[in-house]
A and B are shown apart, each in its own frame.
Chain A
Amino acid sequence: MSVTGGNNTVSDEKTALRRILKISKWEIRRFAGTMDKGLIPIVAALFILLVVAMGFANSSGIHLEDNVYTVFTDSDESIKIIGFDSRFVIYKVPSGYFSQHPQYLLDPQYRDAFDLIVSGDTVTTSGTDRGNAALLAFERDYSRYKIAFYNRQKDLYAAYPVWIDEKEVESVIDFTATQMGRAAFSYSNPYRVPRPANIIEIPLPSEEIEVPVEELRRYLIADEGSDPTISRYTDILKSGDLDVIPYIVPSQMSASLPFDTIVLVFVFIFPLYFTSQFFMMSIMNERIDRRGEILLSTPVSPWMIIAGKALPYLAMMSLIAVALILYIRADLIIFLPLFPVILFFLSAALLIGMIARSFKELSFISIFFSTVASSYIFFPAIFANIHVISQISPLTLIIYQIQGDGFTAEEYLYSTIIFYLVSLVIFWFAVKNYNGEKLFMQHKILTALVEFVDGVISKRYVNTSLVFVAICMIPFVFLMQLMLLVLLFNFPMPLSLIMIMLSAALVEELFKSVGIYALFLKRPDYMTWKNLAIGAFAVAVGFLLGEKLLLFATLAEISESVFGAVMFSSLQVLWLPLILHFVTTLICGSVVKVCGLRLYILGIIAAGVVHTLYNLYFVLGVFG
């Protein structure tokens, strides 16, 4: 079939699409072929067992925290409060026991043998950490008991005389004023009478409670929850009632630490990660069987092969995500923040599948990756509703949505762009390196990664490539630095700043110099002093460009804080950071040039120190 000029691109696109779909079809057939035929009945049986197991767990409860606390009680009433709670081992004696045996209340030797002692209506604790936790558990049970009691009182306004309407106010001062870390706690002088610079008239909220009393009761009862040993793990999945609770009573104020968001990691993140393993294996198998070679010898280009192979898994993971969302009866919009996570897992699976030397290595790298990825996704989400830092995690958006608050397009961009960009860059690197030479090499992981970088640097336009590689490194730098921020920001203030500053500088220097390092490793003859200097300049230009682009697009909020300032060089002056990037890259490259590849790490440290000094001087003005 002959194609004339104008239609060329259209038909090219068509063939490309047709080829990708064809490879997808092969991949599905291959996948079905890999899976043992005898597997289906066993999988079905296991799934039935799983449903049975879940039913069993539902009826008998999760017995993980059983019998952790001991209670010694002479009060029948206390049994009403904690009798159902399997966390407590209850030793019950007839009432009045402690007036005959006062040593249990007075002598520490007797007293501290139990976490809690309930004598009549008085609860005492041993004062140990476990005793305190037991007391807290008792208090929760007690308030649950009281709430259940009051919720059923005929006169609800006598049972609950105070109703609270919580309103949130946006802070007009940016985050440079009250810093994360210690500064967030303190007011310079709480005794100074507040005098707002600008008084903005706000409409007076209504003086009455406009909701009918039985409606309020309905909310209260819905909020009670069921078996706490199970609801502890499942409550987080409950979508907020479609209509948000308008008023709360004091005991409902300030939710406890949302550590339990870890449940969301198990529900959403792990199944997706798990499915990405199939893709990883498929890539690894191509390398073991050397079947990949056959496809490579056809006119199909690498990007089509990868796209075609990834497509079925993308579809599979999307379907699983949707199924999970439907299963917990949440809003389908949750799929939006999950999608970049899916892409991220797929790209990581591709990369790991391409570089692992053995199954064991594959397992370990992927376990390592999943730990890092889930920490990155989980830990910021702890701060959901508390601090803006939480928004770097897509999981926070899911929490918002489940709470019924929803999220804006801006928030979406902010918390997902790094995931999108990182996945994109990894895919691109993989495409560039998807060839016989690279697929069948057996290098150590780090060497393999450097080989990949080298694979992207063109033979002729080295410096243009370096600019490009530097731009591509930016999302990784941001990813790592945001992670460091999350990990380090709750150390005491001066220490956290110093640690973040140093580690951020080291991360930046590492990624900045990786292109230069790859050239030293693979093309030592090319790396003359002159070419090193030009290359360093190219890296500096690329880095600056990428940094500005990404900062401009998104991370304004974090970049405006002191932490941001040391992590990402400031936006105002362009030539200063350009010189910084050039000098530090040159330092690192020179160390390698003079001392050899083995002392690369020394070069990074030297460059990192210079970078830190620069930050101290220009950003924080320490020496000035």
Chain B
Amino acid sequence: MKINSRNCRLVAKKEFKGLINEKTIVLALLLQLFIAMFSSFLLVGLASMYNPDAMSKYSKMKYPIAYAGETSHLYVKLMEDPNLIVYPMELSPAVSALSERQLAAVVWVPRNMEETMNPMKVTIYLIENDIQSGIVSAKLKSVLTDYETELRDARSDRLTAMPVEMRMPATNPAGDFYEFVYGVLIPLLVFMPAIISGALIIDMITEESQNKTLETLMSTPVSFTDMVWGKILAAFLLVPLQAGTWMILLILNGIYIGGFLEILMHISIVAFILILIAATFAMRYRERTNAQFMFSIATVVVLVFALSIPMNSGNIIVRLATGSIGAEHMIVLLPMLAVAMGLSYFVTMYSSRLAQKL
């Protein structure tokens, strides 16, 4: 079965025109981009909120807290923290002041057990459901962990062994944000166009049979195979377009993305495979609900499988984005290309077989 490339281009062009004529699609894409933009704004803002030290403005920020109960070395350590101002108070007035927001936290130490065998019990009062409580709690955590290490060292004769000691510089909690952006957000945004295009090819193919326009189309010189490949072409071209826009938006938001073109290359081939799978279902069922249903399940299966394999395309994209892979990412392209070519052959054969039946 020969494919007429001119006919394919014609079909693809027609599909593109249709997509643009229904302006809602352009609108939907724009709005989606808008949301992506805002969500990364939100996340950047959030990360800086959690780590106020990262912004010099907040490093001079001081939080008033109260210390109640018996005095201890913890009191000294809290006093030494440059971000905290400690007021020794009775518990009840302190908690009342906290609920009136004159304080950021209250630390209560009922009894000093530093020199004993017993544990130190520390009660911490914080305001519920409050962003600021999260920050103060992070500050207290670092003081308390220091204090814990100190006491543990004093009690080390009671431990049967010691863990490996490691010294490291202070960490920056913005690292969480890093893994969310590169480990979740970018793969999600980049894979989405591939899945959308898979769904789109089903729409394009099933629409012809469900609207009964297929017969008209078959009476033209365009063969069934030409039509399928033209539609595949249209759906496929949308992928780098969309994925590229997502990434440019992220870059504009100040998120570094290494290997822009390489990522587009990898996602394009993933998308191509998904589109071929989707096209097969669309040709098999020629009805949208069935085809979409099967495609969705198949996509989940394929993605879960793929993600459990080391060096999968998702991993390659993550590493390209973070800039932690060299030219070896090309190796992955080979098996992917082989799969794509196999599927292409299958789709061509299957469509020409169907064409004979029609």
Q: What residues of chain A have their CB less than 8 Å away from a CB belonging to chain B?
A: 34-36, 39, 42-43, 46-47, 49-50, 53-54, 56-57, 60-70, 77-78, 80-81, 86, 89, 118, 121-125, 129-130, 132-139, 142, 145-146, 149-150, 153-155, 157-173, 177-178, 180, 184-187, 190-202, 204-205, 207-209, 247, 249-251, 253-254, 256-257, 259, 262, 274, 277-278, 281, 285, 288, 357-365, 367-368, 371-372, 375, 379, 382-383, 385-388, 390, 444-445, 486-488, 490-491
Contacts and interface: CB of A to CB of B under 8 A. Distances in A.
A35 B291 CA distance: 10
Interface of B: 18-19, 22-25, 27-29, 31-32, 35, 38-39, 41-43, 45-47, 49-50, 52, 58, 61-64, 66, 85, 87, 89, 91-104, 106, 108, 110-111, 113, 117-135, 137-138, 140-141, 144-145, 147-148, 151-152, 154-156, 158-161, 163-169, 171-180, 182-184, 187, 196, 199-200, 202-204, 206-207, 210-211, 256, 285, 287-290, 292-294, 296-298, 300-301, 304-305, 307-312, 314-315, 318-319, 322-325
A517 to B, nearest CB: 18
Nearest to B47: A257
B167 A121 contact: yes
A287 B38 CA distance: 36
Given A187-B63, A387-B130, A65 B308 contact: no
Contacts, number: 417
A383 B177 CA distance: 14
Contact of B144 (A124, A184, A250): A250
B215 to A, nearest CB: 16
Q: Which of B32, B168, B183 has the most CB of A within 10 A?
A: B168
21 contacts: A47-B297, A50-B300, A145-B163, A161-B120, A162-B122, A168-B128, A171-B127, A178-B130, A180-B131, A191-B85, A196-B97, A251-B141, A251-B148, A259-B180, A259-B184, A274-B296, A358-B22, A360-B25, A368-B28, A375-B35, A375-B39
A166 B124 contact: yes
B28 A64 contact: no
A58 to B, nearest CB: 8
Given A250-B147, A368-B32, A444-B24, A139 B171 contact: yes
A195 B93 CA distance: 8
A487 B164 contact: no
B121 A163 contact: yes
B179 A133 contact: yes
A364 B163 contact: no
A201 B137 CA distance: 24
A506 to B, nearest CB: 14
B289 A46 contact: no
Contacts of B289: 34-35, 277-278, 281, 285
A207 B111 contact: yes
B22 A361 contact: yes
A251 B145 contact: yes
A170 B128 contact: yes
Nearest to A154: B160
Contacts of A195: 97, 102
B30 to A, nearest CB: 10
Given A157-B117, A193-B87, A129 B288 contact: no
Nearest to A34: B289
Contacts of B122: 162-165
Contacts of A139: 168, 171
B152 A159 contact: yes
A69 B106 CA distance: 39
Contacts of B31: 368, 372
Contacts of A121: 164-167
A158 B324 contact: no
B71 to A, nearest CB: 15
B38 A256 contact: no
Nearest to A161: B151
A184 B175 CA distance: 23
A246 to B, nearest CB: 11
Contact of A169 (B127, B173, B304, B305): B127
B335 to A, nearest CB: 15
Nearest to B100: A196
A574 to B, nearest CB: 32
Given A34-B289, A250-B147, A163 B85 contact: no
Nearest to B309: A63
B202 to A, nearest CB: 8
Nearest to A385: B129
A202 B91 contact: yes
Contact of B174 (A56, A65, A132, A254): A132
Given A60-B308, A67-B324, A190 B99 contact: no
B102 A196 contact: yes
Given A158-B155, A167-B126, 20 more contacts: A39-B294, A46-B297, A57-B304, A69-B324, A78-B164, A80-B164, A150-B163, A164-B122, A165-B123, A169-B127, A185-B132, A190-B64, A204-B110, A207-B110, A256-B173, A259-B43, A285-B289, A372-B31, A375-B35, A487-B42
